[in-house]
């Protein structure tokens, strides 16, 4: 199996995950991983993408131990790349120049961009941060709250260092929700406000919506239902615009459950219907 064939399989992940076909995504990534383990390919960036995507696939399937194992493999790969980034960058540069001399400009550009990314290492640092974030989510699923908090805080430090507002906001939101789960409302509020600050700076509607959902949950837990509803409404309006059907469905379902807890049955049903509609849109994409 060639690098190009494997790359096609790897790229196909976006199509399968965007259509909720996580089983097929997992199957493709396992094929890629087999090729890596068999020594058919020695490309650290490709391996990194495969390990991260496999970890995400296993997380979605609820196979938490496998997810943790592959997040660690991704982080180990990143550490190896940082130690030997110059030689890998030079290798990609030579391959790119060879393709350029052969007039294969599209492939040449791909390898030259990989070389540049390794020299700069900014993109890889972003991925390091997000991998720590995903590992934190996975540890949280196992109720290892301290381990999850450590991973979130490490992710935040990395994303802020490279000034990635969207990623930093996502990490602060996750930390806020974790702290709230542990009853640390004041600390959760501080993290959620930081998440919103970064989200506003990014002007990304999905990220802003997620940060506002966290703040709404904090208000709800404090029984400030009017304040919570205002934040939830603003958050859901933003998520409606985002096009992120899965995240929006989850947000409406979350709000519906909170309304049901309060005894507001009719409003809860309305929110559940919205959640179902967004989930249905995602499933329709899968069928198409």
Of the listed ranges 134-143, 174-183, 221-230, 233-242, the least confidently predicted one is: 134-143
DSSP string, 168-237: HHHHHHHHHHHHHHTT-HHHHHHHHHHHHHHHHHHT-HHHHHHHHHHHHHHHHHTT-HHHHHHHHHHHHH
Q: State in Å, rounded, how far the first CA of the chain is from the last one.
A: 28
- The confidence score (pLDDT) of residue 101 equals 60
More confident residue, 40 or 208: 208
Whether the per-residue pLDDT at 218 is higher than 80: the answer is yes
Q: List, for residues 221-277, the tens digit of each pLDDT value.
A: 999 999 999 999 999 999 999 989 989 999 999 999 999 999 999 999 999 999 999
* Whole-number Å distance between alpha carbons of 61 and 168: 26
Mean of per-residue pLDDT scores for the chain: 81
pTM: 0.67
Residue spans per domain, the chain: 3-163
* Whole-number Å distance between alpha carbons of 45 and 91: 12
- What architecture is domain 3-163? Alpha Horseshoe (1.25)
Radius of gyration of the chain (CA): 21
Whether the per-residue pLDDT at 102 is higher than 80: the answer is no
Query: Are residues 10 and 53 in contact, defined by beta-carbon separation less than 8 angstroms?
Result: yes
Whether the per-residue pLDDT at 192 is higher than 50: the answer is yes
- The confidence score (pLDDT) of residue 186 equals 96
Whether the per-residue pLDDT at 15 is higher than 70: the answer is no
Rounded to the nearest 5°, which phi and psi values hold at 42? -130, 75
Q: How confident is the model at residue 11 (pLDDT cuts 50, 70, 90)?
A: very low
Of the listed ranges 77-86, 170-179, 210-219, the least confidently predicted one is: 77-86
Q: How confident is the model at residue 82 (pLDDT cuts 50, 70, 90)?
A: low
- The confidence score (pLDDT) of residue 217 equals 97
Whether the per-residue pLDDT at 84 is higher than 60: the answer is no
More confident residue, 274 or 131: 274
Average pLDDT over residues 42-67: 83
- The confidence score (pLDDT) of residue 18 equals 43
Q: How far are the Cα atoms of 14, 29, 122 from residue 96, in angstroms, in the given order? A: 25, 25, 20
Q: How confident is the model at residue 208 (pLDDT cuts 50, 70, 90)?
A: very high
Report the share of the chain in percent with pLDDT over 70. Answer: 75
Average pLDDT over residues 36-41: 82
* Whole-number Å distance between alpha carbons of 235 and 239: 6
Average pLDDT over residues 44-69: 84
* Whole-number Å distance between alpha carbons of 251 and 232: 9
């Amino acid at each position: 199996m060639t690098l190009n064939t494997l790359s096609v399989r790897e790229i196909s992940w976006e199509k399968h995950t965007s259509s909720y076909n996580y089983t097929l995504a997992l199957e493709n990534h396992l094929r890629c991983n087999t090729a890596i383990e068999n020594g058919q390919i020695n490309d650290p960036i490709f391996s990194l993408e495969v390990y991260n995507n496999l970890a995400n696939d296993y997380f979605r399937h609820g196979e938490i131990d496998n997810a943790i194992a592959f997040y660690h493999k991704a982080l180990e790969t990143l550490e190896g790349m940082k130690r030997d980034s110059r030689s890998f960058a030079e290798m990609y540069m030579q391959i790119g120049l060879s393709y350029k001399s052969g007039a294969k400009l599209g492939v040449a550009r791909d390898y030259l961009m990989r070389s540049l990314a390794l020299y700069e290492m900014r993109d890889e640092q972003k991925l390091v941060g997000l991998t720590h974030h995903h590992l934190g989510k996975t540890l949280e699923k196992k109720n290892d709250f301290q381990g999850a908090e450590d991973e979130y805080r490490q992710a935040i430090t990395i994303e802020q260092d490279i000034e990635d507002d969207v990623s930093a906001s996502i990490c602060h939101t996750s930390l806020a929700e974790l702290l709230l789960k542990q009853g640390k409302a004041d600390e959760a509020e501080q993290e959620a406000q930081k998440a919103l600050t970064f989200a506003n700076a990014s002007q990304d509607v999905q990220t802003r919506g997620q940060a506002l959902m966290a703040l709404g949950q904090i208000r709800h837990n404090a029984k400030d239902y009017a304040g919570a509803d205002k934040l939830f409404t603003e958050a859901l309006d933003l998520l409606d615009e985002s096009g992120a059907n899965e995240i929006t469905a989850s947000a409406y379902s979350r709000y519906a459950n909170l309304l049901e807890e309060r005894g507001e049955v009719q409003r809860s049903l309305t929110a559940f219907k919205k959640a179902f509609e967004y989930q249905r849109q995602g499933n329709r994409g899968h069928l198409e």
